[in-house]
């Protein structure tokens, strides 16, 4: 991973409260900017000890440790080790805001072919249980396998824990989670692919590690020998609520999400594979089965609220941050909680504009604000009715809605609307302004309320 000098303060977790100057290319390799590991593995791996060093394939899975650091707009997470290229899963649970679930309940999304739901309560009161004090809000799932001769592709999904109805993006099958895209590696280099929604979350991996913890079910002190390559993420701070400390639990799971290995961070202290996740309770193991990314206190935090004006709440959407001279600084992810609250960070005190905060089927909003050293407070006003996405509520939106009037979403056949031809997904969804699964007179009322209005 190469560092390029830029005029951006980088808050490294190895030296909180000090500034460094760096920019990171997410490539699955360690960089000195990460500093010291937040946690090291103390358990051997019983999911295979990789001995393939080409950086593409792996015949075993191990999590040797975890590193993290913050910029004003993102948390970078590097997990050295391997994820076997047989579609075993790496599950990264994130606790970053109030609420969440300490035990995975029975209201999980179907992301990753039902993987998150497979770890939750099956109705008998079970469900993967974390350490006391860890309440999972999000889960990032990655898995990969051979996608061509000498080529492996890893896939990434994002789920909101305990919320099977949350909206991310514009399609009905996004409820509760979303496919985030893929990363392909072969002898000729690397490439990235887009998923259903681009939220700025990035993934890279390098499977070259052949050191680290050895095969077995006992204690290990070899994790520090395998810290050079692995899996790397870039996660926008807005997506996980701004500047506070963030707890993360990483584990290796089987391809069907039905069998947890003994590779968990923090380590298990010398244990065999854990088996069915629904019966795993991390409180029963020594130490914490999570690690903590300290708060990003070096950057001002902007706190905000969003008003959806009675329309269907959208759990994540994007905006653009501009400086006082209208130069684009980066993409901001807005992730309102149940009360409409969100947070993100800015590089330093000064004047900014949050431009184009717009969710599907809503008129967008922009806000100019001044951040002090501690931050600022803003509010966003999103108005439902922009069905065709042209930035205005006009007769053309009425035409779209009228074409799908009295149609309803078929919850038993994800992605389908009753009496709508194949491929007729976008217009029905975007005409359902109140999110009740049917297009009725109540959706017309939203159009009437905001008719002839445009993006702010």
Cα 286 from chain centre = 28
Residue 404 has pLDDT above 90, yes or no: no
**Digit-coded pLDDT (tens) for 197-238:** 778 888 889 999 999 999 999 999 999 999 999 999 999 999
Dihedral sign for Cα 250, 254, 256, 260, please.
negative
Residue range(s) of every CATH 1.10.1330 domain in the chain: 389-449
Phi/psi of residue 267, nearest 5 degrees: -70, 165
Residue range(s) of every CATH 2.60.40.10 domain in the chain: 301-384
Residue of higher predicted confidence among 23 and 327: 327
Q: Are strands 301-307 and 375-381 parallel, antiparallel or unpaired?
A: parallel
Residue 116 has pLDDT above 90, yes or no: yes
Topology (CATH) of 389-449: Type 1 dockerin domain (1.10.1330)
- In angstroms, what CA-CA distances link 346 with 26, 88, 331, 334, 358? 21, 37, 11, 13, 19
Per-residue pLDDT, averaged over 367-380, amounts to: 96
Ranges 13-17, 176-180, 249-253, 270-274: which has the least confidence: 13-17
Topology (CATH) of 301-384: Immunoglobulin-like (2.60.40)
**Is 0.95 surpassed by the pTM of this model?**
no
Residue 418 has pLDDT above 90, yes or no: no
Per-residue pLDDT, averaged over 402-406, amounts to: 85
């Amino acid at each position: 991973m190469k560092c390029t000098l830029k005029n951006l303060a980088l808050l490294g977790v190895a030296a909180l409260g000090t500034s460094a100057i760096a920019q990171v290319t997410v490539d699955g390799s360690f960089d000195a900017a990460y500093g010291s590991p937040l946690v090291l593995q103390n358990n051997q791996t019983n999911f295979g000890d990789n001995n393939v060093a080409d950086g593409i394939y792996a015949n075993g899975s191990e999590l040797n440790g975890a590193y993290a650091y913050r910029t004003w707009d993102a948390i970078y997470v590097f997990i050295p080790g391997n994820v076997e290229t047989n579609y075993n899963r790496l599950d990264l649970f994130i606790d970053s805001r109030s609420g969440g679930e300490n035990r995975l309940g029975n209201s999980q999304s179907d992301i990753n072919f039902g993987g998150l739901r497979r770890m939750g309560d099956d109705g008998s009161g079970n469900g993967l249980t974390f350490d006391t004090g860890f309440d999972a809000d999000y889960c990032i799932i990655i898995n990969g396998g051979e996608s061509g001769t000498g080529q492996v592709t890893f896939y990434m999904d994002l789920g909101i824990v305990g919320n099977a109805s949350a909206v991310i993006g514009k399609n009905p099958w996004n409820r509760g989670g979303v496919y985030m895209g893929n990363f392909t590696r072969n002898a000729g280099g690397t490439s990235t692919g887009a998923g259903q929604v681009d939220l700025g979350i990035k993934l890279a991996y390098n499977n070259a590690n052949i050191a680290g913890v050895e095969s077995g079910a006992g204690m290990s002190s070899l994790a520090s020998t395998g810290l050079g390559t692995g899996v790397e993420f870039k996660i926008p701070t807005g997506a996980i609520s701004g500047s506070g400390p963030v707890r993360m639990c990483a584990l290796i799971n089987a391809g069907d999400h039905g069998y947890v290995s003994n590779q968990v961070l923090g380590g298990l202290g010398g244990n065999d594979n854990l088996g069915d996740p629904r019966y795993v309770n991390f409180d029963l193991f020594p130490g914490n089965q999570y690690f903590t990314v300290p708060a990003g206190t070096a950057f001002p935090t902007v706190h905000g609220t969003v008003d959806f004006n009675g329309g269907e709440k959208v759990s994540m959407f994007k905006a653009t941050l501009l400086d006082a001279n209208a130069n684009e600084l980066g993409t901001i992810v807005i992730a309102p909680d149940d009360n409409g609250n969100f947070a993100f960070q800015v590089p330093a005190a000064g004047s900014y504009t949050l431009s184009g905060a717009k969710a599907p089927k809503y008129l967008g909003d922009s806000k100019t604000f001044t951040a002090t050293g501690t931050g600022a407070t803003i509010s966003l006003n999103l108005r439902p009715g922009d069905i065709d996405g042209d930035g205005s509520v006009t007769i053309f939106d009425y035409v779209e809605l009228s074409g799908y009037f009295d149609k309803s979403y078929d919850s038993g056949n994800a992605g389908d609307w009753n009496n709508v031809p194949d491929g007729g997904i976008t217009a029905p969804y975007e005409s359902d302004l109140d999110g009740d699964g049917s297009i009725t007179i109540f959706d017309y009322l939203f159009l009437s309320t905001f008719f002839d209005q445009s993006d702010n």
